[in-house]
Amino acid sequence: MTKESPLTLELPWVEKYRPHKLDNIVGNEETVERLKLIANDGNMPHMIISGLPGIGKTTSIHCLALELLGPELYKSATLELNASDDRGIDVVRNRIKQFAQTKIQLPPGRHKIIILDEADSMTPGAQQALRRTMEIYSNTTRFAFACNQSSKIIEPLQSRCAILRYNKLADDQVLTRLLEVCKLENVQFNTEGLQALIFTAEGDMRQAINNLQSTVAGFGMVNDVNVFKIVDQPHPLVIRKMLRSCCSSQDIDNAIDLLDGLWVKGYSAIDIVTSAFKVAKTLPDINESKRLEVIKEIGFTHMRVLEGVSTYLQLCGMLAKICDI
């Protein structure tokens, strides 16, 4: 065993299995194909990649930079700044401008790349300061912004960039990658465990892999009960029984008993309402108009809980109104 191997074993799985090539990125095939064309052409424009957390925005930019610059130049010709760094106007004036002015010998047609992760957290002043910097150094340096909401990037920066949008990953795409990781790590799992990971991740690959590793570390076996204990969410089967008691048989007493069981276990009102919303979307044996009414009622309760009225009585009221529907 080499000296490096213990360090490799300690890597979080989300880093250990992070893709290093555009071919290995899961989902958003059309957008990734555009990035592959840019990698082949070599002339990268300034770009903004927007989308939900954990779906591969930053990874895609790093893969593109690696394919454009090669492993030798990648480290010296790439600067990454994250939301955890101070990214006020001083950082733009100092670190970013200093890196843009640095002379690095690159192949013809290649540029230095500045990656600004969580760019929607940058102050408006810092974004304004970037406008001129992008224009002055565009011959040698290209900017890549990764953000959750492109609307929080000021218009002048948006007009200077190609905007790519990433969608939430499909369940089968998350499942394929989870199965790969389970095989490589010799993880014991059952079908319900993988379904629970996909249900709780909601298209977020990073969360799915982190929850998988946490479940393995905590319990060893990946099944639905262990997964919901790790992520600390009410079991959707209990929520489903509770909603079906209200919708199918108008049995408010049984629904309240199930709610009591969750409340005693310490789940908060927001946990129960959020899970109820997810479960209601796939509730069987219920017509579409009735389902919409149920979702609407859960939505109103969710709004009240977020406003601070997160009481047991609020949840009982929600169940009573769903029974009335």
Q: How far is CA 295 from CA 168, 240, 258, 322, in A?
A: 21, 13, 19, 9
Q: Of the residues 231, 250, 270, which one is the last residue of a structural domain?
A: 231
Q: Looking at residue 84, what is its pLDDT? A: 67
Same domain? 43 vs 183: no
Residues 156 and 286 in one domain: no
Which DSSP letter does residue 82 get?
Answer: -
d(CA 253, CA 239): 14
What is the Cα–Cα distance from 200 to 169, expressed in whole angstroms? 13
Structure tokens given for 290: 């009735």
Alpha helices in the chain (DSSP H): 5-9, 13-16, 29-41, 57-74, 89-91, 97-101, 124-136, 155-159, 171-185, 191-201, 205-219, 224-231, 236-247, 252-264, 269-280, 288-306, 312-324
pLDDT of residue 33: 93
Rounded to an integer, what is the distance from CA 42 to the centroid of its chain?
Answer: 29
| pLDDT for position 3 | 43
Nearest Cα neighbor of 63 from 88, 28, 92, 89 is 28
Report which of 150, 176, 181 is spatially closest to residue 163, judged by C-alpha positions. 150
pLDDT 10s digit of each residue in the chain, 325 long? 344 444 445 789 999 999 999 999 998 899 999 999 999 888 899 999 999 999 999 999 999 999 999 888 898 999 998 866 766 777 777 888 889 888 888 888 889 999 999 888 888 888 888 888 888 888 889 999 999 988 889 999 999 999 999 999 999 999 999 999 999 999 999 999 999 999 999 889 999 999 999 999 989 899 999 998 898 889 889 999 999 988 888 889 999 999 999 999 888 899 899 999 989 988 877 888 888 999 999 999 999 999 988 889 999 999 999 888 7
Q: Give 60-118 pLDDT, tens digit per residue.
A: 999 999 999 988 889 899 999 886 676 677 777 788 888 988 888 888 888 999 999 98
pTM of the predicted structure, to 2 decimals: 0.83
Domain containing 200 equals: 171-231
Give the domain-ending residue among 144, 165, 186. Answer: 165
124 touches 154 (CB < 8 A): yes
Instruction: Mark whether 218 and 241 lie in a shared domain.
Output: no
Are residues 160 and 12 part of one domain? Answer: yes
Q: What is the CATH number of the domain that holds 30?
A: 3.40.50.300
DSSP summary character for residue 189: E
